[in-house]
Structure 1
Amino acid sequence: MKKLSEKVVTGGFALSMLLLSGVGAESYLQVRQLNENRRSVQHTHKVLESIYMALDSVEDAGKGQRSYVFSNGEDAAAREEFWNSVKKRERSLAQVRQLTQDNPDQQRYLNTLEPLIAKRLILLQQSINLVQQNPADQATQTAISKQSLSLHREIESKLQAMITVERTLLQQRSAATDRSVKRALWISGIGNALGFSLLIGIFSLLLHQIREAKRDEVVRYRAEMALQQANDRLEANVEKRTLELAQANLSLQTELTERQLAVRALLDSEKQLRLITDALPVLISYIDSEQRYRFNNKTYEEWFGSSQKDLTGRLLKDVVGESAYQTIRHYAEAVLAGQTVSYESLISYQTGGDRWVHVTYIPDFDEQKTVKGYFALVDDISDRKQTEVSLRQSEEHLHRILQNMPVMLDAFDDNWNLIEWNRECERVTGYRADEVVGNSQVMELLYPNLEYRQRMIQAWRDRGNDYRQWEWEVTCKDGTIKTISWSSISDQCPTPGWAFWGIGVDVTDRKAAQQEVVQLNQSLNHQIRQLETLLEVIPIGIGIAQDPECKHIKVNPAFAKQLGIPTTINASLSTPPKESPTFKVYQNGREMIPEELPMQYAAAHGAVVMDVEIDVVHENGKVVTLLEYAAPLFDEQNQIIGCVGAFLDISERTQLQAALQQMNEALEIKVQERTAELNQVNEDLTRSNQELEQFAYVASHDLQEPLRAISGYTQLLAKDYLNQLDATGQQYTAYVVEGAARMQQLIQDLLDYSRIGTRDLVLTAVDSNAVLNRVLDNLQLAIAESNAIITHDPLPTVTADKTQLIQLFQNLIGNAIKFRRESPPQIHISATWDNSNGRSHRSDPHPPNPEPTDPIPATEVVYLFAIRDNGIGIKPRYLERIFEIFKRLHTRREFPGTGIGLAICKKIVDRHNGRIWAESEPDIGTTFYFTLPQPPTPASSYGSPNPQLNRDSID
C-alpha cells in the first residue's frame, strides 16, 4: 500500500509538473504570438501614418503653390511651405516603401504613384516659375492648374487605395490578436485549474500518508519542501504569465481604441463632406462613363423631386428629360472624351422647368488615363440672366427716349467734345449726329461769330451747369439763326461719361408769340374794362355766383338798385339768416325758399332757367317785378363752378329786349364771319390736295406716252443707224435708252405710289397665309436666284385691302432678298395680336371674336406683323429716313431701284390706320414691323380718293 501511494504521489506530482510546464510553455508561445500581433498592428499604424503624411504633404504642396500664385509671387512663406511639403513627401514615401517591403501590392502602388507625384511636382514648379517670369499669362496658369488638379486626384486615389489595403491588414491582424488572447486565456485557465487540482490531490494523499506514517519525518519534510518549492514556482509562473497577458491585452485595447477613433474620424469627414455638398445651392453629381448617376447632392431633390437614393444608378437622359439631354448631349460627349467643359445655356428640364444654368464638367481618369466618369457642377443663373435682359432693355428704352423726346438734348465730355446729339437737335439745327458728334469744330459750326462764341463760353463757365431757360442763338446748317432756351441740371444729376449736358427748346417763334400774347392780353384787359363798364352802366341787373351753391352772389349797380341793397353786400338768400339781405322773393303770391330761386336751381340742376317772373319785396314794402334768366357756369372739365343771372325790370322790358337783340345780332355776325373764314380755308385745302393729286397723276401717268416715244425712237435710231454712229454716239445712244428705261420705271413707281391714295380702299376679310403664298409665287425667280430660305408662323385673317396687302408683303420681302449679304437670305414672317388690356398673343389664324359680354372690345384688337432678315442691315440713324420717297442709302450700281418701295409700304399702312417702322443692326439683319388695326365689323371701303384719279393708267 505504501509503495502504491508513493507511486501515485510521484506520478501525480510528475504529471502536475508536466501539465504546469506545458501550460507555461503554451502561455509563453501565446505571449510571443501576442507580441508579434501587437508589433504587426503597430507596423500597420505606422504605414497608415506614413501614407497620411504623404497625402498631407501632397495637399500642402498644392496649397503652398496656390498661395504663391494668388499672391503673384509675393508670399515667400508660401513658397517655403511648398518646398517643406516636397521634402516631407519624399521622407514619407521613403518610409512607406521601407515599411511595406514585405507587401508586393503596396510596392506596386508605390511604383505607379511616385512618377505621378514627380510629374505633379514638375507642374507645380512650372506654375511657380511662371508666376515669377510671366504672371499675366493666366491661360497657361489655368492649363497647368487643371493638369495639376487631375494628377492630384489620381494621386489621392492611389493613396486611398493603399490606405484601404492597410486597413484590411489592420482588421485581419486585430482579429488574429483577439483570437490569440482568447486562446491563451482558455489554455492558461484550464491548465492551471488541472495542475492545481492534481497538486491538491497529491497534497491530500501526502497528508494522509504523513498522518499514517509519522515516523517517516524526513520523507515528509522533503515532500513538504518539494511541494512548497513546486507551489512557489507555480505561483511565480502564473503571476508572470498573468502580468504578460495583462500587458498584451492593454496594448491590444490601446490599438483597438486608436483604430476605432481613426474609423470614426474618417466617417465624420465623409459626413461633413456630404453636409457641405447638400447645403450648396448648386447641383453636384458624379456621372460614370455610361451616363449613370453615381453621386448627387440634395439639391437634386428640389429640382427633380427625386431622392438621392432614387437617382443613383439612373441614366442622365431619364432624369433631365429628352429636351434637356439633347441640349447637353454634345457637352457630355466632350467631357467623356477627356475635355473640361464649361458653358451657359437655357435648358428645359422635364420636371425642373426652364432654367438658365452655368455648367462645369470635369473628367475623372483612371490609372490607364481612360475617362471613367466626370464631375458635374450646375448653377441656376436664371435670376442673373433676367437681370441682364432687364438692364439691357432699360438701357435701350432710355436711349430711345432720349433720342426721340420732343426737346433737344446734347452732352459734352471734359474736353468740350460733343458726345450726344438727339433727333430733335438734328431737326432744329439741320446738322446730323454724325456731322457734329466727335467734331472738334462743333462750337465754331453752331456759333460762328468769334466774339459771340467766346462771350457765351465764358458766361457758361462762370454760371456752371445748374440753370434754367438760358437763351442763346444757334446758327443752323442752312444759315438761319434760331433762339434756343437751354436748361441744365448736370451738377445735381451727374451722368457717367457726360461731363455736362443740357436740354433745349426752340423758342425762335416764341418772341413773336410773346408779343402777340402781350397784345392779346392788352386787348383782353381792354375788353374786360369795357365789360366792367358795361356792367356798371347797363340797365340790366346782373348777378354772378362763383360757387356751385350760390352762397355768394355779386351784383352790378342795376341789380343792386332792383334789390334795394348796396353793391358790396352779398345778395344770396342761401347764406345764414343773420348774413342774408332783408328782401324777400315771391312767385305767384308764394314766398320762394332759397333752393327754388332761379340761380340756385340752375346751378344745382345744371339747367338754363328762362323767363321766370319773380317779385322782390323790400323791407319798406316796395315791390319790384323782375324777369329772370339764369345759366350755370362750367369749368374745362364740364364741372359746375357757379351761375350767372340776368334780371330785367318788367317796366323796362322793351329796352332790355332791344339790347339783347343787338347783342345777338353782333354775335351772329361774328359767327358768320368766322364760319365763312373756316369754309374758305377748307376749300383752299381741298383744292390744294386735288391739285397735288392731279400733279402726281400727271407726272406718273400722262408723261409715260412721250417717254415711251423717246425710248422707242431712240431704240430704232440705235438699231437702224448704229453703223453710222461713232463710238461716242453709240455710247450716248445707250445712255439715252438706259435713262429712258430708268425714267419709265420711276414714273411707273410714282404711278403706283399715287394709286395708293387715289383708289378706293376695299376692306374685306383676307387670309394672310394666302397673301404670302401669292407673293412667294410672284417672287419665285428672285428666291431661286438668291437661294433664299423663307419661313413663317401661322398668320391671321385680317380686315384689309387684299391688293394693297399683297403689294405691302411683296415690297418688304423683295427688299429682304435684294439687300442681302454673301450668304443666302433667311427671312421669317410672324404676327401677334394685342388689345388695350395689355394682353399680347402669338399669331392665331382665327382669334376669338368678342361677344357682347366680352370685356375686350373688338375695336381694340391690333395685329403686329414682323418680317425679319439676315441682310446687310441699316445704320440706326437712317431708320426714319428710309420711308421717305426717293430716299436711297445705296447707289444704283450697288442695288437697283428707285427708292419708292418703302414709301409705298408706309402709305399702304397709313391708309389702314396702322404704323410701320424698322429695327436693324448693320451686318446682322433688319426687322420690319407694321400694325393693322381691326374694325369691329369689316367695312367695304373707307378713305376719300379723288374720283377723277380713280382709274388705271393707259399703257
Structure 2
Amino acid sequence: MGFDDDAVCSASESVTLMWLNRVINALPQAIYWKDQNDQFLGCNQAFSEAAGLTHPDEVLGKSAVELSDDMQPQLLSDRDRIVLDTKQPEHHIVDLTDAGDRPNWISIQKLPLHDDHGSAIGVVCAIEDITAQKQAELKPQHSKATISATPDHITQEADAQLRDSKDFLKHVLNGVDDPIFVKDRDHRWVLVNDSFCRFLDCDRAELLNKSDYDFFSNVEADILWQRDEWVFTNGETDENEESFTDKDGRILTISTKKSSFTDQNHHQFLVGTIRDITLRKHAEYALEDLNEVLESRIEERTAALRESEVRLRALMDNLPIGVWTMDVNHRYIIQNPTALEHWGDLIGKQPQDLDLPLGVIDSWLEENRGVLSGKILRKENCHRRGDDDWFCSTILAPIWDGDRITGLLGVSIDITEQKRTEAALRENEDTLRGILQNMPVMMDAFDENGSIITWNSECERVTGYSADEIIGNPDAMELLYVDPVYREQMIQTWTRLGNNFRNWEWNIWCKDSTIKTILWSNLSGQFPVPGWAGWGIGIDISDRKQAELQLQASETCLRQQAQELTDTLKELQRTQSQLVQSEKMSSLGQLVAGVAHEINNPVNFIYGNLTYADEYVSELLDLLELYQQEYSTPTAAIQAKIKTIELDFLLEDLPKLLNSMKVGSERIQAIVASLRTFSRMDEAEVKAVDIHEGIDSTLMILQSRLKGTQGRSAVAIIKNYGDLPLVECYAGQLNQVFMNILSNAIDALEESSQFSLSNSISKSSDLNSETQYSSTSPCITIHTERISSDCIVISISDNGTGIPDSVQQRLFDPFFTTKEVGKGTGMGLSISYQIVTEKHGGSLNCVSTLGQGAEFRIEIPIAQGAT
C-alpha cells in the first residue's frame, strides 16, 4: 500500500495497519493519496488495477502524468491545489464519454491531510463510477421531457395507456436498484419496489398497508414516524444517514431521501428512496484512519529530514573541498567553510558585484547560464595567491527541484599539489627516457598497430640499424627477421607468450647480415606504459651461446670420464657400505635436522606473515570496494587503469593466490616436520599424539614415490582408520617405523610391477612358483583399530608378490637386505623392530603369503605406563 517498511510500529499498530490495508484493498472505490508535491504515496488495489499496475506499490513516487492515458491524469490532479490551500474537502462529479460515445459519470471526493499544526501536507481521493445511479435518476426526467414534448392527442393516448398498464409502472420501479417506497398520510406503505422487498427481506404482500411499527421496535418506529411527519408537514425533502440492522444482525449504513407530493385528488403521499452506503462509509472511515497514519508517517519523515539536514550541514562544514550554491539569478546562497577560505564571504553577492574585469564576469555568467540550462561543467583554473600559483578544479551542476532547475551547485578542489606532482613526473619522465635511451641493454616499444616507436642506442649498436631506419618503418620486421619461415614462427611464439615473459631466446638479423641471439623479456604486461602497446628489454648473448656450445662439448668428454670413475667408485662402495653405515646414518640425521631447521625458520616467517598479508589484502579490497561504492563514477584515468590491470580478475584471483601460498607454506612445514621426524630430534619425548596424523605425514613425504612411473602405475592408498584415542609414544621414532615399512612396501610393489612386465613379455604362467605375483593394480592398505582398552594395532599391507619364508626369518636382522647394493642398508626394519618393542613395549610382526602380498602388524599400548 506504499507505507514505509522502515517505520517502527508496536504489535497492535502492526495488526491495525494490516487490517486497514485489507479494508482499503477490499473497497470497490479507487482510492489514492498524494503528498503536497503531487507525488503518489500509495493507493488501493482498485486504483492499481484501473491504472494498469500489477501491485499498489508500483505507484509510489510517481506523478499522475506517469500513469496510462486511460486514467485521464487531469482527473487525478484537478483541484488538488485548491484542496491543499483551502484545507477543505471537495466532492464533484465529472461527465465522461467512453470509447462507444456512451456517457459515464465519475464521483471524485478529495480530503486534505493535515499535520499536528493544521497545515495541509497531502490529499486523499476516492473515485467511484456512479453511471448506473445517474442513469436511474435521469430516466424519470427523460420521461417527463418526452411527455411534455409530445402532442396533446398522443399524450392523452399515452396517459390512458399508462393508467391502464400497472405492469409498465412495476417494470420501471422494479428496474431501479435502490429501494423505493411510497407511504400514504397514515404512514402506511402503499407502493414498494422489488429492491425494497429485498432490503427488508419480506414479500410485497407483507409490506403493503403496513407501517414501520409492524417491523421495527417502537423506538426506531417513533424516530421514523417523526421524520416522515416532518416531510408531510413542511413539504420539504429530508435526507439522512442512519444505521439499520437487517434480519441477519448486520449493521448497515443507509442514506434515505424522502419528499412529499399531492395527487390530483389532494391526497398526500411520501416517496422515499434508500441507498446502502455501508461500503462508502467504511471507505470514509478507512480514509480517516489512513489520514492519521499518513500524517504520523509524514511527521516521522519530517523529523528524519531534519536530522538528515543536520548531518548534511555537519558534513558540509567538515568537507576539505569548497562547496557553494547559487540561485537562478547567479546569487550566492550557501558557502561551506572551505569555500569561504578559498573565495571569501560571497553570500548574497552576484559575479557583477565583485571587483573583476568585465570579460571575466561575462565569461563567468555565460558558464552559469549553461549550467542553469541543464549542463554539467568541469574546468581547471590557475589563481594567483601572493607569490604562488594556486590551481583549482571546479565542477558546476544544476540543482533540480522536480521538473525545474532552481539553482546550481559548485564544488572546488585544491589541486595545486597534484599539478606540482604532475610537473615533477613529467620532468622525471624526461630523465627516465634519457636513461632508457642510453642504458647498456636493448629496449624497444611498439604501438597498437605493431609499429616500432622506440629504438634505443644499444639496439642500434647490436643490430647496426639506426633509430631513423627502424622507427615507423613498415618493413622493419622484414629487415630484422629476414627468413620468412622463422619470422612467422617468431611472431606466433611472441603472440602465445603474451606481454609478460622473461628470458626468451630468439635470433635477429643484423645490418651486416650476421645473426645474433637475443635474450628478451617483455615487461609491458607487468609495467604498462601509456601509449606503448608493448615494450621489452634484451641482451645480446651470441658470445655466451658460443661458449655454451664449447662447454657442452667439454661436458660430454667429462661425462665419459665421470662414468668411468662412477664404475670404479661403485666397486669401492660395495666393500665399505657395511663399515660406514652407522656413521652414515648419524651424519644423515644431523644433516636432515640441520636442513629442516634452516628451512623451517624462513618458512615459519613466511607462513606467519601470510595471515597478516591476507588480512591486509582483505582490508585493502574492502577499502577498494568502499571506494567503488562511494565514488561510483571514477575518472577516465582510473577507468583506463581498471581496464588495463583487469581489476575484476585481480580482485577474484588475489585471495586465491594468497591461499595457494598458504597451502604451499603449510606443505613445506609438513615436509620439514617430517624431515625433523626422520632425524628423530624429539625421540626422547613421550607425548600423546594422533597416530593418524603421523601416518598421513609419512605418506606426504613419500608422495613422489607413490606417483606412477614408466614401469608402474600409481600406488593407491586405502585408509581404513578406526576410532583411536591419543596414544602416548615417541612420535618421531614411531613415524620412522611407518616410513621404513611404507618405503619397503613401495619397493616391493615396484619389484612386483617389473616382474609382472617381464613375465608378460615371456608369456610365462607358472603361478605355483615363488615368483607368483598379483595381477591387480599396486595398492597399500593401512588399517588401524583399538583391539582392547589399552592397546591399538596398525596394519600396513600391500598386494605385491609377497615375502618368502626364508626371508621372513631374517627380516628384522641388522644389515640383512634383499635389495641391490647401494639401494638398501638392511637397517630400516631392524631399527623399526627395536623402536616398537624396546621403546614402546609393543610388537612388530610380518605375515606374508607368496602371490598375496605382505602385512606388517604393529601393536603398541595406548599409555606407556600400561607396559
Q: Would the TM-score normalized by the shorter structure come out above 0.5? A: no
- The structure in which a higher percent of residues are helix is 1
Question: Structure 2 length as normaliser, TM-score?
Answer: 0.26
Find the structure with the greater CA-based Rg: 1
